[in-house]
Structure 1
Amino acid sequence: MKRMALRWFGLAWLAVGIVVCGAQTAPTAPKPGEGPASGVPQDNPDNGKKTPETHLTPAQAKELFRSVDDILHFASSDSKLPVKHEVKRKLQTRTSVEKYVVDKFNDDEDAKRMQRSEIVLKKFGLLDRDFQLKPFLVSLLTEQIAGYYDSKTKTVNLLDWIAPDSQKPVLAHELTHALQDQHVDLDSWENKSLSDVSKNVEDDNKHLAVDEVDTAREAVLEGQAMAVFVDYSLKGSGKTLLTSPNVAGSLNEDLTDNSDSPVMARAPLLLQESLLFPYREGLNFEQVLMKDKGLTEAFAGVLDRPPSTSFEILNPKSYERQAKVPLLQMPDVHGLLDNQYAPYDIGVMGALDVRILTELFAGEDAAVALTPQWDGGIYYAAQSKMAKTPEQKAETGSVALMYLSAWKSPDAAKTFAAIYAEELGRKYSGVKRQQELESNGEQIYQTNEGPVLIALNGNQVFTSESFELGLAHKLEFLMEGAQSNGNLQTAQTTPGAKELSGAIVHVFANCGLMRVGMPH
């Protein structure tokens, strides 16, 4: 969903590589029998207080600066990405790092779009109505950051409160981003989505044409950096990710442990999955390519021919076959809507978004079973022109939403329609079914925010929320008719929309390596 779930928030903030540390510093990869990493403030069981934070001595800082070149060459050897020039390095204080995160959050285009898209996420039920997204995300990032490479200044930033041995695995991750930057220029390679609001049908389909490019690319960047991180952590054992395939599975289990991250532990599923997706699924994607195609293709090859959808990240074999995911067409709805509504948001409801939504609504087992049956989806949101004040515009009731999803079978479509209908009571109050108004394949409800139409037609499900019922039927006719012309688009690698979760993923990825992306 413009990476609805992910892309909306720039759900990929990891691409530049910051890890935000809260009360604790970033741990190294675990070794058998090893205790907490040196330099990490620990809880005192006697008084509940944390030991005072330590800072690097001049000798330690000198050692850390000196290690950058060695680790850069390790990352180059491990990834087969050549070193074209040395990487600048700078020591940062906790205050300066936290300022960097907050400034980046405030300035990032995806973050701005995320704030706008917050209403749509709530409309879909991915966030609770009373959830305050921006302050929570600032707290989450502040807790999670551990280290970062800044692609604008071409500098790897070291942290003055973490012991050198604890920072070195993080450096392996961040310096992989530096090598990626030297190969493709990350500033131009990463951000391919359009940030403006489309005003006509041509703009609508330009936005949709990019599908989930940024989300997929962020997963590539983080997956590659995680592979090098793992190999650096294992180098003393003589093992690698390629020779020890079970390592990734163990790491994935570790990534879901939020016991030392209180803010992450209480984050909505959307934010947790958006933050983890580039690390977890990106690493899995890279591991498959390393095994099937070799290191050069898994690193430089993927940077030169990146995937364009979260579906490809979740299904690496589809990427290897160069199979394109059909992209649903957006019809011209502006003639019906523009007198009463202003265009608000449009995007792709991608495989990752569907997985998150299905897990939230029906549980993990349902998500695992249904997500592979996904075959495309788009949404369009419009805001009533009756909403005049900022307070009125901030209400979910001011926005009307339509969503068309396609499935590989009528049974899968029927299952999704039932799951979606079951959750209406969680999103709205006063939900009442109006069966007397329904035609074949329809479910119609009245809610405190207006009518809801759920229409099942073969392998497609159309939903309309808050549009007047007669208008909703006209929109259904247009949306379904646009897909029957036999001229489906496919996901492209040119500028366009982000999937719903995409904005979140992008914001996370652009802030650096997060603690949640590292083994505990």
Structure 2
Amino acid sequence: MVLAIAMLLVAGSVACVGQTATAPSDSQTPAAKAESDKPMTKEQAKELFKSVDDILNFVSTDSKLPIEHSVKRKLITRDEVNRYLTKKFNDDKSAKHMERDEIVLKKFGLLDQDFQLRPFLLSLLTEQIAGFYDNKTKTVNLLDWIKPDDQKPVLAHELTHALQDQKVDLTKWSDVGEDNIARNVKEDNQHLQTDEAETARSAVAEGQAMAVFVDYSLRPTGKTIADTPGIGERLKDLAADTSGSPIMARAPLLLQQSLIFPYSDGLAFEQAIMVKKGREAAFAGTLANPPSSSFEIMNPAAYMAHTPVPVLRMPDIHPLIDAEYTPYDVGVMGELDVRILTELFGGKEVSDALTPEWDGGLYYAAQRKSAMTDGQKDSTASLALLYYSQWKSEDAARAFLRVYTRELPRKYTRVELSKKDAQSADEQVYSTNEGDVLLSVSGKDVFISEGFELPLARKLRDAIQSVQGTGPLQVAGVRMHEPSLSMAEMLGSFGMMRVGLERYTLKGAGAGSGITSVY
């Protein structure tokens, strides 16, 4: 689910590097603001335009992706960038999906109830953007207020997207999702089979571009990412630092993780493929056979081994709910979602311990037909939500449920434990200001219902458990809709973000791994 956010931020391939790429800070002096907006000279622009072809040749050699034709280039102003962002946000399919998903994210507790997603995302994008390749116009856009030497590494990143586009047509390659609301059991399971893939593809595209960026930056050392073991994993740790990015520092964990995921985890994924199988497999190979889930991005060995991706099944619950509820959303709670949710609810140590124990998850949200006005429909009280997950051990299942339970008081203004309503020691029942909450664990399975009436919640739990079976889980198909991945997908559609590049410096020959400091 979360991947849609990252795709929104990354789609279209915007690149961001260094503080110079950001909008002027309110704390800057007038002179500093004027300097940060000062356009480059004609000589600098000429130098930058000339460098495009040289860098494109480097990108082709490094990635083994052929140059089919030259890439158009354009110098744009800060105002033009801001207009582009606003128009793209208004028109972008992923952005529209994310605005609909906002209420589901709040129901899960991934966003606070009073958080306003749209204006914050626009501010974040404005702060983060540093340059972009536009799939539709086939043009790399250069920013006229950033010095040429600062833009050249960004160009290596963005021109990787240009060669990807020439290879597979990024617009078609990236758009493999379901746009409709699932309204029957067949459509429910189609959505579960195709929920995460767009964001996984975003991580491939950004991971490849980051690999080329790192190689371009490592040129003085004579090294590449392929012979620098562990650099991808170390960059994942460095990317978590939000210092130097005021808006990013204020962003909810969901947005921070979703924005970083395609760059950091995508880079680690690509490096793992490259080290094991070579550059052609890491670039052309993963474009031809992309992963379909955050599980594969986060576990590249599983991708290379063709390990089945855990995808659960939905029974036909519509006869149980359709009289009082309208289908709202169905999707996967994947490994990235679990990583974010458990870190938010329990802290990083808990998240590091529990995330690898995830073994599949799905959610279903329905809206009460009694919610008639826009205000009622925008409230989490109008939604009923179920979340079913499987874990690799009973201990992990119970640990996850404890973490989730502790978060209930933050999500609701009133939470009261109803011991008399629990039917066994494995059930917890709560009364809240938004309706009944049922939490239960059975072996390695966890079921959570929030907002469905208690008798209905138990029927839904029994129906879901009954269709999972004991054989191998289904393999994810083309696109899976995971909240965090959906966010990643949305954010990614705008191009490369500064957070993807600015967390480290790559210096000269004695630098070992090449990572010597953090900005």
TM bucket normalised to smaller: over 0.9
Which AA in structure 2 matches 1:453?
L
Partner of 2:219: 235
- TM-superposed CA distance for 1:252, in Å, is 3.2
User: Is residue 372 of structure 2 the alignment partner of residue 377 of structure 1?
Assistant: no
Q: Please show how residues 35-434 of structure 1 align to structure 2 within 5 Å.
A: 50-52=33-35, 53-434=37-418
1:10 touches 1:110 (CA, 8 Å); kept in 2?
no
SS in 1 for 2:362: strand
The Cα of 1:237 is off from its aligned counterpart by: 2.3
Paired letter, 1:510: S
DSSP 3-state at the match of 2:484: coil
Distance, in Å, in 2 between the alignment partners of 1:125 and 1:449 is 13
Aligned mate of 1:448, from 408, 411, 433: 433
CA distance in 2 between partners of 1:513 and 1:315 (Å): 23
| Contact kept in structure 1, 2:308 and 2:473, CA below 8 Å | no
Determine the structure 2 residue equivalent to 1:33.
Answer: none
Under a length normalisation based on structure 1, what TM-score does the superposition of the two structures give? 0.93
Question: In 2, are the aligned partners of 1:445 and 1:453 still within 8 Å (CA)?
Answer: yes
C-alpha distance in 2, partners of 1:106/1:487? Answer: 42
Among 14, 18, 25, the residue aligned to 2:20: 25
Question: Which letter does structure 1 place at the counterpart of 2:257?
Answer: E
User: Which secondary structure state, in structure 1, belongs to the residue aligned with residue 15 of structure 2?
Assistant: coil
Equivalent of 1:467, from 439, 449, 452? Answer: 452
- Which residue does the alignment assign to 2:3? 6
Q: Distance in 1 between matches of 2:200 and 2:106?
A: 24
CA distance in structure 2 between the aligned counterparts of 1:133 and 1:348, rounded to whole angstroms:
21
Q: In the TM superposition, what whole-angstrom CA distance separates every residue of 1:25-75 from its partner, at most 9, and x where no partner exists?
A: 249xxxxxxxxxxxx989999999545222121221111111111100100
What displacement does 1:163 show? 0.9
Q: For 2:262 and 2:347, locate their aligned partners in 1 and report how far apart those are by CA, in whole Å.
A: 22
1:491-506 matches, within 5 Å, as 491-493=476-478, 496-506=479-489
1:252–1:26 Cα change, 3 Å: farther
> For 1:128, what is the secondary structure of its paired residue?
coil
Percent same amino acid among aligned pairs? 56
Distance 1:150 1:47 in 2: 32
Q: Which deviates more from structure 2 when the two are superposed, residues 41-50 or residues 277-286?
A: 41-50
**1:188/1:430 CA distance change after superposition, 3 Å:** same
CA drift of 1:109 comes to 1.1
SS at match of 1:380: strand
Q: Distance in 1 between matches of 2:304 and 2:318?
A: 39
Structure 1 residue runs of 4+, over 6 Å off? Answer: 40-48
Deviations 1:339-398 (A, max 9, x none): 101000010000000000000000101111111110100000000011101011011000
Residues 267 and 406 of structure 1, relative CA distance in 2, 3 Å threshold: same
For structure 2, list consecutive stretches of 5 or more residues without a partner in the other structure. 503-518
Secondary structure of the residue aligned to 1:445 is: strand
CA distance in structure 1 between the aligned counterparts of 2:445 and 2:142, rounded to whole angstroms: 50
Counterpart for residue 35 of structure 1: none
Contact 1:44-1:51 within 8 A present in 2 as well: no
Letter in structure 2 aligned against 1:513: M
**How far apart are the structure 2 equivalents of 1:43 and 1:267?**
18
Please give the secondary structure, in 1, of the residue aligned with 2:326. strand
Asked if 2 retains the 8 angstrom alpha-carbon contact of 1:43 and 1:49, the reply is no
The alignment partner of 1:375 has SS state of strand
Give the letter aligned to residue 6 of structure 1.
Answer: L
Q: What SS does the aligned partner of 1:13 have?
A: helix
- CA distance in 1 between counterparts of 2:284 and 2:466 reads 42
Contact 2:157 2:212 in 1 (8 A): yes
| Alignment partner of 1:511 out of 494, 511, 514 | 494
Q: What displacement does 1:214 show? A: 1.1
User: Given the superposition, is the C-alpha separation of residues 293 and 340 from structure 1 closer, same or farther in structure 2, using an over 3 Å criterion?
Assistant: same
Corresponding residue for residue 34 of structure 1: none
Q: Structure 1 residues 238 and 20 mapped into 2: Cα distance closer, same or farther (>3 Å)?
A: closer
- The one-letter code sitting in structure 2 at the alignment partner of 1:132 is Q
Aligned CA distance change for structure 1 residues 332 and 229 (closer, same or farther; 3 Å): same
Shift in Å at residue 120 of structure 1? 0.5
Task: Determine if contact 1:210/1:497 at 8 Å carries over to the other structure.
Answer: yes
For 1:276 and 1:371, locate their aligned partners in 2 and report how far apart those are by CA, in whole Å: 17
Note closer, same or farther for the CA distance 1:44–1:477 as it changes in structure 2 (3 Å cut): closer
Please state whether the residue corresponding to 1:96 is helix, strand or coil: helix
Query: Displacement of 1:15 after TM fit?
Result: 4.0
**Matched letter for residue 335 of structure 1:** P
CA RMSD of aligned residues (A): 2.0
Change over 3 Å in CA distance of 1:491–1:182 after alignment to 2: same
Contact 2:315 2:463 in 1 (8 A): yes
Q: Report if aligned partners of 1:87, 1:178 keep a CA contact under 8 Å in 2.
A: yes
> Residue deviations 1:150-179, cap 9 Å, x none?
111111111111111111000000000011
Q: Secondary structure at the match of 2:276?
A: helix
Displacement after TM superposition at 1:249 (Å): 4.6
Question: How far, CA to CA, are the matches of 2:29 and 2:140 in structure 1?
Answer: 38
Q: Does 1:16 align with 2:12?
A: yes
CA deviation after TM superposition for structure 1 residue 447, in Å: 0.6
- Provide the secondary structure at the position in 2 that maps to 1:490: coil
Cα offset for 1:418?
Answer: 1.1
Shift of 1:437: 1.1
In the alignment, the residues of structure 2 paired with residue 347 and residue 308 of structure 1 have an alpha-carbon distance, to the nearest angstrom, of 14
Distance 1:421 1:41 in 2: 42
SS of structure 2 residue aligned to 1:307? coil
State the 1:293 CA deviation.
0.5
Query: Relative to 1, partners in 2 of residues 1:177 and 1:116: Cα closer, same or farther, differing over 3 Å?
Result: same
Identify the match of residue 468 of structure 2 among 472, 483, 488.
483
Please say if residues 198 and 343 of structure 1, whose CA atoms lie closer than 8 Å, have aligned partners that are also in contact: yes
Identify unmatched segments of 5+ residues in structure 1.
Answer: 28-39
Cα offset for 1:469? Answer: 0.5
* Cα distance in structure 1, aligned partners of 2:7 and 2:171: 18
Contact 1:327 1:376 in 2 (8 A): yes
